[in-house]
A and B are shown apart, each in its own frame.
Chain A
Amino acid sequence: MWMQNDIKLKINTNKEILSGLPQNNKKNILKYQEQIESLINEYNKYKNDILSEMYNRKTTLSDIKQNKDLDVTLKTILSTDDIIYLLNTYNTSYEKMELDKDLYDVSRFYRTNFEKVNEDLVKIINKYRLVGLDIKYEDFNYSVYANKYMTVFINELSNNSLNYNVLKECFDTLYWQCPDIFTHIELNLKDLYYSNKKLFDKYVNNQKNKVFTDFEKSGKEIMEDYLLLQRNYDELYNSDTYLILQDFLTKKLNTKDYTLDRITKNFNDFISDPVTDNDEFNNNIKKLYNSLNEYKEYLHFLYLIDGVKKLYSEKDKFKNVVKNKFTIISSNEKKIKKLNKKIVKYMKRGKSELANKFSLTVDSLIFDTKKLYDELDMDVFNEQVLNKLSDDSSIYDLLCLVYSYYLYFIACIKKNDANYTAESIELEVNRLRKFLISPYNTIIGNISIVREKNIPMIISDCYKLLNLNVSMDVLNSDNIDNLIESTAKIKKYYNVLNCRLVLEDISFICDTETILTEEEYVSVLE
């Protein structure tokens, strides 16, 4: 500290000299001013020397690059992300190709706008064509209105871009004759899917086999590798010195929170004695952090778990429901198509009264069929509860099943949250996906859907064995976030402790960064 004292002494001396200078006349005041300016120059030079030293030290210390393996690992994870849906054993080509979601969007045309519905139709028709189903306007035989609109639509599509003015003009004419025109198109597309299901199944199957060939692995092996990759990525990410430093520089973290004194308060949430083995304690805290997160997500998705458990308890009711409903739908659709042929015939002959009479019958049949298709969305899920779940199934299996059926899933979301929005639905869908592909789940895969388990007790007992106190009483939705935050902080503390910079270096880099920015310091070397 000798230099600091030197500077202090020098400053005090200068202050004393200044205070001794007379300011009783113009000459003396000017002299006093000259003296001040001279001192300002002198001390600005000192300040620059110090800033230069700070800059040099900061540059050397923070000359750290992000681990290159992070990007490579992330790319591999993302490429697996794109194909993981093909490995799903719970759903069919309809869900895998997201036709359930696309057709649901079309069914809600009144909630979106004209362009969006037409974009959705383009997306669906492109998917149909992808599997080899060459959609033509003749395929739209659900109603004369659906046929008229889709004739214009497919003609527009053949020009490679949709002219919305042309489509709007056609729609405006037809809408007043048939306000349900998009419902007719939606059902027509569903009918086309079911009539050509084999083509879709074959396409999805080929895609899946291509994945197995490309990866040279089975589905199970691909999933195992995927989970391992995620673990590796997290490990690399959390221990990366560059990223840790960025967290402090961007003020996401504060160095003051990661001193041993401060972190001891978090330690005390879980242990009563001082830590003797840091590595062991850190590993156990990481495990606890994962268990707490898993339990939090379990609690969050209880509305799904309870709902499916109830369906499972009455699963025998669902036998043959889908089959029977399809029989009625098919019969209705046959009648609709037959009547439509008659309508066209009568229209051509100018017998509009007869055509209108049959049109009303078609409308009524389509209305009933729409209701049946809507019920079918839930019935298909119920049938999967019957076929895919057994007493040996786990909570993980149950949630995978829900995730596989978008329409059932969003029906549950809407029932559970009266204030749902399109964004909140998307967030919930993504949250469940993230939960299911987490490599850290150890609880939900081991809990049967038919046996109740006391999860707080399982967690509490497990960590007691690892010398961590997690009382059963604190494991509830009110406390869980605080516990997660505390374990996350301890995890971060060890990441900081084990990184290539010591906390003092990080503090210095952050403080210096602030000072250099405030001073608008520019190095002479730059």
Chain B
Amino acid sequence: MDNKKLKELNYHELIKIYQEIKEFIEYLNKEKDSLDMGDVDAK
């Protein structure tokens, strides 16, 4: 991530971006957990 751009963000923007990223990571982790590895072996 561009640190220069990060420094230019105000507090609200910084916290909002953090929240967007946090939510996406949570989404990715859910996706990963939902993968049926038993099914993978069967296939």
Contacts and interface: CB of A to CB of B under 8 A. Distances in A.
Contact of B18 (A8, A18, A54, A504): A54
A44 B35 contact: no
Given A53-B14, A54-B18, A18 B31 contact: yes
B40 A26 contact: yes
Interface in B3-40: 3, 5-9, 11, 13-18, 20-22, 24-25, 27-29, 31-32, 35, 39-40
Contacts of A23: 35
B25 A3 contact: no
A7 B17 contact: yes
A467 B36 CA distance: 72
B43 A29 contact: yes
A47 B25 contact: yes
B1 A40 contact: no
A504 B40 contact: no
A11 interface: yes
Given A53-B14, A504-B11, A29 B35 contact: yes
Nearest to A504: B11
Nearest to A39: B28
Contacts of B27: 15
Nearest to B11: A508
Contact of B31 (A7, A36, A508, A511): A36
B43 A25 contact: yes
A32 interface: yes
A1 interface: yes
A4 interface: yes
A47 B25 CA distance: 9
A194 interface: no
Contacts of B17: 3-4, 7, 50
Contacts of A44: 25
Interface residues of B, number: 29
Contacts of A3: 5-6, 8-9, 13, 17
Nearest to B6: A53
Contact of B7 (A45, A46, A53, A515): A53
A43 B24 contact: yes
A50 B41 contact: no
A33 interface: yes
A499 to B, nearest CB: 17
A469 interface: no
Contacts of A505: 11
A26 B37 CA distance: 9
B35 A33 contact: yes
Contacts of A32: 35
A437 B4 CA distance: 57
B25 A36 contact: no
Contact of B32 (A7, A15, A26, A33): A33
A507 interface: yes
Interface string A22-59: 01111001101100110110011111011101100100
A508 B9 CA distance: 13
Contacts of B41: 26
Given A7-B21, A43-B25, 20 more contacts: A3-B5, A3-B9, A4-B13, A4-B20, A8-B20, A11-B24, A26-B40, A29-B39, A29-B43, A40-B32, A43-B21, A43-B24, A47-B18, A47-B22, A50-B21, A51-B18, A53-B3, A53-B7, A53-B14, A57-B14
The list of the 8 closest CB pairs from A to B, nearest first, reads A508-B11, A49-B1, A26-B43, A26-B40, A50-B18, A29-B40, A36-B32, A46-B1
